[in-house]
Amino acid sequence: MSQDSSFAASSETHTPEATKSVAELKQIAAQVRRDIVRMVHAVNSGHPGGSLGCTDLLVALYFKVMKHTPEPFDMNGIGQDMFFLSNGHISPVFYSVLARSGYFPVGELATFRKLNSRLQGHPATHEHLPGIRVASGSLGQGLSVAIGAAQAKKLNGDDRTVFVLMGDGELEEGQIWEAAMYAPHHKVDNLVAFVDRNGQQIDGPTDKIGGLGDLRAKFESFNWRVLETDGNDLEKLLPTLEEAQSLLGQGQPIMVLVDTQMGFGVDFMMGSHKWHGVAPNDEQLEKALQQLSVEEAGDY
């Protein structure tokens, strides 16, 4: 199918002053979700559940919140907001949002997980894919990387913000908590971290696999400023992102606990860990696409 010009790759600089309406963001999110299910279906491989759940957050960041320049891509992100994906297995949503916001051609999404593709199952830097600043997928490392980038910005007199997304199951990694202790101590207050609190991981519900307890209390005890929001409701998510930005520069890193549903937008995938890393078959794909309608589909 032809690409809808509304979601075409472009070289414009995305700034908080030149952004999409909520209605437009919802249409972009629906298109991204179409990309996700089509990408994993095409190769019978990938992680649709978490990708669908985090779509609204990434769309809000790249099309509303972040100041970033897709082209030419600057690996160092000087003068730009930066985003790091720690739970790299949800690469389908990351690749779709990067392509749709102008980092590389939308048509390249058709190469996902194929031989010699720049769109590997987990993001990697040696393919030199624009928008990817760190290899991820080995869980637990993203927060440390983001803290380092945020401190580098401070040292360089760069007043932009660093964002990072982690999964809730990923919080079982000890490195997360070392980083969580480090950031407040060093007053890394140009950092906004997100936890996708969908309550699911590959083997089942997080409260049965390795209960996380009261995450708000835990991060507050480490001296983070903590917010909570519904990650699948843009009307609630966007004000929370604005609040997070208003709290920057006050001596504390910001943590946003984002409640999402795994598989959001596709009814038979929603809320189940079984769709963590399973691709839909032909019939399931058709059913999913029927639920993910857009005014004018711009499928690659």
What is the mean pLDDT of each successive set of 10 residues along the chain, which is 300 residues long?
40 57 96 98 96 98 97 96 97 98 98 96 95 94 98 98 96 96 98 92 77 93 98 98 98 98 95 89 97 88
Q: Is 208:168 a contact under the CB 8 Å cutoff?
A: no
What pLDDT, on the 0 to 100 scale, is given for residue 227? 98
What pLDDT, on the 0 to 100 scale, is given for residue 1? 37
The torsion angle over the Cα atoms of residues 22, 25, 31 and 37, rounded to 10 degrees, is -100
Residue 138: how many CB atoms within 10 A of its CB? Answer: 12
What pLDDT, on the 0 to 100 scale, is given for residue 4? 41
pTM of the complete model: 0.93
What pLDDT, on the 0 to 100 scale, is given for residue 202? 73
Identify the H or E element spanning 236.
Answer: helix 234-246
For residue 111 the two structure tokens come to 């190469």
What pLDDT, on the 0 to 100 scale, is given for residue 14? 61
Q: Is 67:81 a contact under the CB 8 Å cutoff?
A: yes
Integer Cα distance of 298 and 24 in angstroms: 14
- At residue 19, φ and ψ (nearest 5 deg) are -130, 175
Q: Is 183:148 a contact under the CB 8 Å cutoff?
A: no
What pLDDT, on the 0 to 100 scale, is given for residue 207? 77
What pLDDT, on the 0 to 100 scale, is given for residue 15? 58
For residue 68 the two structure tokens come to 């970033």
Q: H-type helices in 139-233, by residue range? A: 142-155, 174-185, 206-209, 215-221
What pLDDT, on the 0 to 100 scale, is given for residue 171? 95
Identify the H or E element spanning 155.
Answer: helix 142-155
Integer Cα distance of 255 and 214 in angstroms: 14
Integer Cα distance of 5 and 222 in angstroms: 46
Integer Cα distance of 84 and 249 in angstroms: 20
Packing angle, helices 142-155 and 174-185, rounded to 10: 20
Contacts of residue 219, defined as CB under 8 A and 6 or more positions apart, other chains included, come to 180, 226, 255
Integer Cα distance of 109 and 17 in angstroms: 29
